[in-house]
Amino acid sequence: MSVVLITGAGRGIGAATARAAAQAGYDVAVTDINGDAARSVAEELPKNVRAIGVEHDVRDEEAWATVFRDVERQLGPVDILVNNAGMIHTGWARDLTNDQHRQMVDVNFFGPMYGTLEAMRYMKDRGGHIVTVCSMTSFLPLPGYSSYGATKHALRSFINTVAIEEHASRVAFTLVHPPGVRTEMLEQEKRDPSAVAAFAEKSVGPEVIAETIVRSFKKRPLLGRPAEIVFPALGGRFQRWVGAQARLMRLAMPFVLASGRRALRKG
């Protein structure tokens, strides 16, 4: 059975994806900066598949090659990489520290960039699939999400460009753009008044995103043409279009903020 390596899988979308992948019969390498959390998720997966938990900081570029080797030694060659690890600091850009801005860039952009580069080297002969969890903020300039959104814009551009560059290779690419997902991260955002815009769209459970990610494993896009999955399917496409129109976004923002406030009041 194919081997899936999932980053940031100690909780949230990553943990849900590990469970969904195991239910679908994949062997799973659960990695997380919190090694205990990664091992705990791996231990609870069904016993009919093989699973390991690995402590892994995606910001450590040298560690990526070691992780791929360790997973291959214990489970076999990695067929699918899921770039999922991410973090957030919400707030007006001027109110965040330089360290907070830099931390988001390091985790949300450089982490999956290092992983993608290592996966391409690793998969160049036998082929593989790189699935990257991005965000609807890669299309939408949302107040309170300046650097977070910027990292997702950059990540989307990087993956799309690499897919074109690698069109002759045997590596396929998929981008998944979730809306707000009911995780600890979203609970953190709820406590910040500056993050209200994100709540204008109805949130979804991590299992919804996980099931979509796992389904994408079998729907390999054409080489050189990365698949992009947006949520919700119709509304996400509309948001993608509006987000590209800066003037429209400025006009729409008062309505977006009002909708977000109403949603938070309703709980």
Q: Tens digits of per-residue pLDDT, 65-89?
A: 999 999 999 999 999 999 999 999 9
Q: What is the pLDDT of residue 179?
A: 77
* Domain coverage including residue 214: 3-266
Q: What is the pLDDT of residue 137?
A: 85
In terms of Cα–Cα distance, which of 195, 210, 194, 196 is closest to 266?
196
Name the strands in the sheet holding 80-83, side by side, starting at the edge strand that comes first in the sequence.
Answer: 51-55, 27-32, 3-6, 80-83, 128-133, 171-177, 227-230
Taking each helix axis as running N to C, give the angle between helix 12-23 and helix 206-218, from 0 to 180 degrees, rounded to the nearest 10: 50
Q: What is the pLDDT of residue 30?
A: 99
What's the whole-model pTM score?
Answer: 0.86
Q: What is the pLDDT of residue 233?
A: 47
CATH code of the domain in which 177 resides? 3.40.50.720
- State the total domains in the chain: 1
Q: Which residue ranges of the chain lie beneath pLDDT 70?
A: 182-203, 220-225, 232-267
Q: What is the pLDDT of residue 134?
A: 95
Q: What is the pLDDT of residue 143?
A: 84
For every residue of 43-91, DSSP letters joined together read HTS-TTS-EEEEE--TT-HHHHHHHHHHHHHHH----EEEE-------S
Q: What is the pLDDT of residue 191?
A: 62
